[in-house]
Structure formats: C-alpha cells, structure tokens
Amino acid sequence: MSLETKTYTFDELENKYRNFYAPAYEIYIDGSNIVTESMAIPSITVTTSVEPKANYVDFSVKNAYDIVKRDFKWLAEYFVLGKTLEVKMGYTDKLKTVFYGIITSVTADYPAQGHPTLRVKGMDKSTLMMKGSKAGYWIDKKYSDVAKEIGQKYVPKVIVDDTQTVIGTIDQKGMSDYKFLRYLALMCNYDFFLVGKTMYFRKPLTGTSSVLTLSYGQNLRSFATDMNLADQITKVTVRGWDDKQQKPIVASATEITKLGSGSKTGKDLLKTHGEFEENIGANVDSVEEAKAKAEAVMNERAMKLVSGHGETIGLPEICAGRYIKLEGLGKVLNQPYYITSSTHRIDASGYTTTFKVQGNAVG
C-alpha cells in the first residue's frame, strides 16, 4: 500500500464501483479475511492523516460472545494485540486497501443489559515509531540519509527525497523516532508520513496532480472553509552561531511555493499593512541549513492560510497526502487543495468519506 499518482474522473470511479452500489469491506488479520467468519460488524471507520498522529481503524463485533459457553469467540484466534491488520473498502467486489497496521487495542464490554461485545482498534506502524526515546547521533550526514536509515527499521518501503545539504552533527536528543523524523521534516520543510507499508519523507508540493475533482452541488455533498491570516508572515529569519569561525549565521526567506492558480498568498495579503518578520534562533551549522530552516517555516505557515473540511460519497481513492480539486465554490475558492486527513466510514447508512484540506493561495 502506497500513494497513487493517478488522476480519476468522478465518472470513471462511478463506473468502476458500479454506480456505488452495495458498499463493502474486508478485514484481514495476519492475512485471514475475518468477514468470512460471519462476524456482526455494524460499522467500521478508517482515518488516515499527514498530521502528527497515527492512522487508525476502529470497529466493534456485536456477536463475539457465546452465551452458552460464556466466552468470547475469535478473541484468542484473531483479536490478539500486535497482529497485522489490513482493511479494504469499496463496493461489491471492487475493493481497495485503505489501512495497514497492527491491532493496538481490544476492549471487552460487559453491559448491564444485552450481550457483551468486542471493540477493536488498530494503528499503522507510526505508532511503533512513537515509542521510547532514542540517543541517535550522526556526523556529516544529510537529513534524508538519517530519515532513510530510521524508516527502514519499521517499513519495507521508504521513499525519501534527497535533502542535499550535509549537516556536521545531527543529534536525536532523546526523542522518539517519530518525533525526531517530524523534527527533521520541519527543519527542511519536508512532508513526513506513512501510508500502509510505505514511509514518505519528501519535498512539499510533490505529486500535486489531483486525485479527482469534486463539485459542490453534484458530488461534493458539503464543504466548509476558513481563510485566516492569524499564522501568516511576510519574512522568516533564522539566526545561529558558527562555533568554528566565531561569527553569526543568518539567513532569511520570503518566497512561497504556491499551490494552484490562486493569485494571493498570505504574504501578499499582509504586505499592504506592512512587513511582519519572524526571527528564530536555531542550532544550525551553516548558512545553507539556516536558509532551509527559514524556507521551511515560511512555507509551513503559508499552508495555514486556507483550511477546510468536506464530505462526499465513499471513495477509497481519497487519501491523506494527495491533492484534490474542488469546484462549484466560487472563483476565489475553486482550487486544488492538499488532503491532510481522510476518514472512511461504512455503516447502516452506507459509505461516506470526509476529508480535511489545506491551501496557501486564494483569488
């Protein structure tokens, strides 16, 4: 499981999923499809995210308790902490993997009335990255070298873009591997997240082709957005100290890489009111590293200009880390957006997908 790069039309997906008839899912535990065991699972929810939290799945089994034997079925065979967990969603027999990870929580509920039930939760491999604190230390390495080395301990596939700049010393300082990789990504304005068995440590605005286009009033059921200047700035300056040459290290950034055709970024909107600079003290070894840090903060802030959330019919292709184009919102907001999280839910009402997005330009 990894990010696709293909762009679909809504009609293509409607045809692929046979007019979205009969929502379906499969749950595999250590490779065994438990749906064939006639388990009563009234709903299942999968959430993926590029934000600093693990992707997760959540479902309950209503008929897990055997009243005669007074014991849970499947508890010892399938619902064992640490077992691999894969979820596929779609329609009829057209299913796509939307989650891969491990079982992290099994809750047995014995109510005052009614039958006992089991609730199962799973998280992707990033939950393992979050455990413990490490004392890693690297000399004359690039951030991308370190990210690749750490990522390979957890997942079989690591996609890493070269960060180019060699750093004198890189110290993990007791952080968990996950927190440390988030820190490295922030230092160089990279995206860091997991999709199934694949870890990404990549340049921002990579693979910006939209997964599909949704139009409000047609296939975009609802959408709400917030355009906000609260986190916007016009310049970032990073300051450090060169111990060898005993002189300051200073670098600044003002440019923003725009997403979509919007003409105005947060910086553009602020400039009529003056200059708003943020100064940051950082432990950097060179002007190049300080410049990368300044650009990272500038672009990270810029992506907070526009945020929104929407809902559509269940579409497994909508995944955090990809981009989506939205139309029918008016000239200012008809733009491609970065999907920061997606939630897929199948229950008695059908299959729905909700998602959160960000953008850095309007107009």
Rounded CA Rg of the chain: 23
pLDDT of 289 over the 90 cut: no
Q: pLDDT tens digits for 223-237?
A: 999 999 999 999 999
* Residue 34, pLDDT score: 94
> Could you say which DSSP state residue 20 is in?
T
Calpha distance 353→141 (Å, rounded): 41
Question: Phi and psi dihedrals of 211, rounded to 5?
Answer: -60, -35
pLDDT at 261 over 80: no
Return d(Cα 293, Cα 216) in angstroms, integer: 38
pLDDT of residue 4 exceeding 90, the answer is no
**pLDDT averaged over every residue in the chain:** 94
Q: How confident is the model at residue 296 (pLDDT cuts 50, 70, 90)?
A: confident
Distances (CA, A) of 187 to 144, 165, 171, 181, 192: 11, 12, 13, 10, 12
Per-residue pLDDT reduced to its tens digit, 195-244: 999 999 998 888 789 999 999 999 999 999 999 999 999 999 999 998 88
- Tokens 């860091």 belong to residue: 192
311 neighbors 353 (Cβ within 8 angstroms): yes
Q: Which domains does the chain have, with CATH numbers?
A: 137-202 (3.55.50), 230-301 (no CATH)
| pLDDT digits 0-9 by tens, 303-328 | 999 999 999 999 999 999 999 999 99
Which residues, 6 or more positions from 106, have their beta carbon under 8 angstroms from its beta carbon? 75, 79, 80, 81, 118, 119, 120, 121
